[in-house]
Amino acid sequence: MGLYEEIKGKKAKISIIGLGYVGMPIAVAFAKKVNVIGFDINKDKIGLYKKGIDPTMEVGDESIKNSNVEFTSNPEDLKQSKFHIVAVPTPIRVDKTPDLAPVEEASKIVGKNLTKGSYVVFESTVYPGVTEDICIPILEQESGLICGKDFKVGYSPERINPGDKVHKLETIIKIVSGMDAESLDEIAKVYEIVIEAGIYKAESIKVAEAAKVAENSQRDINIAFMNELAMVFDKMNIDTHSVVNAMNTKWNSLGFYPGLVGGHCIGVDPYYFIYEAEKLGYHSQIILSGRKINDGIPEFVVENVIKKMIKAGINIAKSKIGILGITFKENCPDIRNSKVEGIIKGLKEYNIDPLICDPYADKEEVKEFYDVDLVDKTELNNLDALILAVSHEEYRNLSILEVDKLFKNVSNDKKVIIDIKNVFDINELKSLNYTYWRL
């Protein structure tokens, strides 16, 4: 009996290492069909999961409560599993180089608790070669076992889109790879237990690693192109969204819009490619340029905030600005690599201490990550300017009357609205004579 049959027959368990925005949906999905151990080093997070609370908001409290996942922060519990899925984050350092510490530590934990006949599949985004050149040696060293003989390894890049309730784990084609034909087939069959959209078998682990970095870099470049257009059209006094809406009437238009590019994937993965390319003596041109453009958008937004305030006759030094949203994307509590932070820092260079409100973000986490104190929406009043930075559903539903109540009692032309996400009706705001700008 192969490992797949043992897992299907509930004679062997699957373990998920790292229960965040990626790991939790995997754990819950597999737990509907097989026995699953959900491991995370964060004891507080495990405590929440055991209480049926989902801090990621990816699967929801009810799904956690009704799940059969065995939540644990005890590494030795991993010895009960034969199929390990590593789904820990892979961030970048301040100098934009890859920080592989989380995946290395996860490899050590798995290695110390690895048993013969096991499989280890990495889902963390890495540059090509990390699984075989870095992770396998750690697994062998910690376990005393030999890869290929005592255990096997594969790679399957995560494709989960945080906050997206349409494109979910089960409905996204899953790329899988293995160190040989046998492991590729076995890993594919295990993932087929939960993946409804189908499996794509990559030719090698390096191909699968590269595919993940490439797909996010491609999206980053496309958004960078739109952001560059936005910066140029702004100088031409042309509304970018109007241009894009006209352009998108052509059948082969890609439908991208300008915006802030943060988070743990698109804003990070290209740097993994750039780093490895540099090691091989190639200086990235297109991908690096795209990153520089997207990293510069917060500064561009701040420049336009100040310009509009000056045009409205507002005293910058005494101004009061509110910001709606600090998470990296809408309807999601994830604040990692949020580019809203860049806007906050930029405003502070003008001695403006903005008030930030976000119903999804955790106040303590925001304080720890960014040293920013979130305020309740009720504290947003008597504003000179309002920046809509994240299009959470409740912000999209704001009426102009509700927005107006946040401002000082002055004429509309002295009320500055900065709409980064193109939520408000530009024609309505112009007809009411607000000072308005959108990215």
Catalytic residue status for 265: yes
349 burial level (CB within 10 Å; 0-12, 13-18, 19+)? exposed
Question: Could you tell me the CA-to-CA distances from 239 to 11, 207, 304, 431 in Å, in that order?
Answer: 61, 41, 13, 16
Where do the DSSP E strands lie in 10-139?
13-17, 36-39, 70-72, 81-86, 118-122
pLDDT tens per residue across all 439 residues of the chain: 689 999 999 999 999 999 998 999 999 999 999 999 999 999 999 999 999 998 888 888 898 999 999 999 999 999 999 999 999 999 888 898 999 999 999 999 999 999 999 999 999 999 999 999 999 999 999 999 999 999 999 999 998 776 666 677 888 999 999 999 999 999 999 999 999 999 999 999 999 999 999 999 999 999 999 999 999 999 999 999 999 999 999 999 988 999 999 877 888 889 998 999 999 999 999 999 999 999 999 999 999 999 999 999 999 999 999 999 999 989 989 998 899 999 999 999 999 999 999 999 999 999 999 999 999 989 999 999 999 999 999 999 999 999 999 999 999 999 999 999 999 999 999 999 999 999 9
From edge to edge, which strands make up the β-sheet containing 81-86?
70-72, 36-39, 13-17, 81-86, 118-122, 151-155, 174-178, 199-201
Question: Could you tell me the CA-to-CA distances from 112 to 43, 122, 152, 312 in Å, in that order?
Answer: 19, 16, 15, 63
As a whole number, the mean pLDDT across the chain is: 93
Which two three-digit tokens encode residue 240? 């970018």
Report the candidate in 82, 163, 165, 70 with the shortest Cα–Cα distance to residue 116. 82
DSSP 81: E
Query: What DSSP string runs through 367-399?
Result: HHHH------GGG--SBSEEEE-S--HHHHT--
Give the separation between CA 18 and CA 177, rounded to whole angstroms. 20
Q: What is the CA 392 to chain-centroid distance, rounded? A: 15
Q: How big is the CA angle at 153 (ends 150 and 157), to the nearest 5 degrees?
A: 165
279 burial level (CB within 10 Å; 0-12, 13-18, 19+)? exposed
296-439: CATH topology? Rossmann fold (3.40.50)
Residue 148 confidence (pLDDT): 95
Residue 1 confidence (pLDDT): 67
Which two three-digit tokens encode residue 429? 């705001």
Place of tokens 């682990």: 205
Segment (H or E) for 107 = helix 101-112
Q: Please check whether the two domains, 3-202 and 296-439, share a CATH topology.
A: yes
Please answer whether residues 372 and 326 qualify as being in contact, where contact means their C-beta atoms are separated by less than 8 angstroms. yes
Which two three-digit tokens encode residue 361? 């973000």
Question: Could you tell me the CA-to-CA distances from 139 to 7, 169, 179, 186, 212 in Å, in that order?
Answer: 22, 27, 14, 20, 23
Burial 165-181 (b: 16+ CB within 10 A, else e): eeebbeebebbbbbbee
pLDDT in tens, 411-428: 999 999 999 999 999 999
- Output the pTM of the full model: 0.91
Q: Which CATH architecture has domain 3-202?
A: 3-Layer(aba) Sandwich (3.40)
Strand partners, 13: 81
Query: What DSSP string runs through 259-326?
Result: ----TTTTTTHHHHHHHHHHHTT---SHHHHHHHHHHTHHHHHHHHHHHHHHHTT--GGG--EEEE--
Give the separation between CA 419 and CA 59, rounded to whole angstroms. 30
Segment (H or E) for 364 = helix 363-370
What number of helices (H) and strands (E) belong to the chain? 18, 13
pLDDT in tens, 42-84: 999 999 999 999 888 888 889 899 999 999 999 999 999 999 9
Give the separation between CA 224 and CA 229, rounded to whole angstroms. 9
The one catalytic residue among 135, 147, 265, 332: 265
Residue 164 confidence (pLDDT): 64
Which two three-digit tokens encode residue 110? 């798995």
pLDDT in tens, 145-171: 999 999 999 999 998 776 666 677 888
Locate the domains of the chain by residue range. 3-202, 206-287, 296-439
Give the separation between CA 267 and CA 224, rounded to whole angstroms. 11
Give the separation between CA 160 and CA 339, rounded to whole angstroms. 20
Number of C-beta neighbours around residue 88 at 10 A: 23
